[in-house]
Amino acid sequence: MIQVVNRALDILEQIAADPEKPKSLSDIADPLGLNHGTCANILKTLVSRNYVEQVGTKKGYILGAKSYSLTGNDAYRKDLLDAAREEMDLLTRKVNENCLLAILKGNMRQVVLRTYAEQDLQVRTADEKHVYDSASGRLLVATLSDVDLERFVRKFGLPSSEVWPEADTDEKFQTCINVIRSQGYALQALSKRQIIGLAVAVYKHKNVVASLSIYLPEYRYSMAEKTDLIQLLQKTANHISGRLL
């Protein structure tokens, strides 16, 4: 077990030596004197945990989001912000509502970029909120793999009935997750505050790296063409994802 841990750390260090340049299996295994099969198996685990990212089928490996988040390194985030800023500005001008880009950080969703509308009445949300208590957080949790989702729930528990009453049991939680996955977006209605949140996923190389959200007063949501709003949000997320290729 200790040997496997050492090998995994050696692999991460080998990739981190030039983090933006994809390295092939040979580039990683040969300098370390590792068997290619052994190296491939360790890489598979690191990829599944998002510490390493596989760029295409045969292009190689680079550091993943979790490797950067361990140290608070913003290099990974910079690409995301550069790709999102202009697209989010365009979306905000079209819908005239506040938009935000968020990532998953432990059991919190963390805002990394905001754009502001010119409405007199605007919806503001905290930079960090519990994942279960936001549309963006619910979207990010729902897009975890089944293995990572099970690990997440085991570590952080199920939502409370106060935060997400529709998902406060195992069965109800899985139903809500399946709905988000099938429809491709998350919706949160805060009846006490009369606020609606909508969120969709942003991808990089088929991995979800962020959520894109719109928050607006309930009365403006009820007056809006909901399908058009969701489609605009999804289109913007797709454009951001396209810039991350």
Domain-wise residue ranges, the chain: 2-71, 75-243
Residue 76 has pLDDT above 70, yes or no: no
Domains 2-71 and 75-243 equal at CATH topology level: no
**CATH 1.20.1260.10 is the classification of domain 2-71:** no
Tell me, yes or no, if the pTM score tops 0.75: no
Report pLDDT for 124.
66
Residue 66 has pLDDT above 60, yes or no: yes
Fold of 75-243: Beta-Lactamase (3.30.450)
One DSSP character per residue, the chain reads -HHHHHHHHHHHHHHHTSTTS-B-HHHHHHHHT--HHHHHHHHHHHHHTTSEEE-TTTS-EEE-HHHHHHHT--HHHHHHHHHHHHHHHHHHHHH-SEEEEEEEETTEEEEEEEE----SS-----SEEEGGGSHHHHHHHHTS-HHHHHHHHHHH-PPPTTT-GGGSSHHHHHHHHHHHHHHT-EEEEETTTTEEEEEEEEEETTEEEEEEEEEEEHHHHHHS-HHHHHHHHHHHHHHHHHHT-
Segment among 127-131, 208-212, 221-225 with least mean pLDDT: 221-225
Report pLDDT for 209.
92
> What pLDDT band is residue 171 in, cutting at 50, 70 and 90?
very high
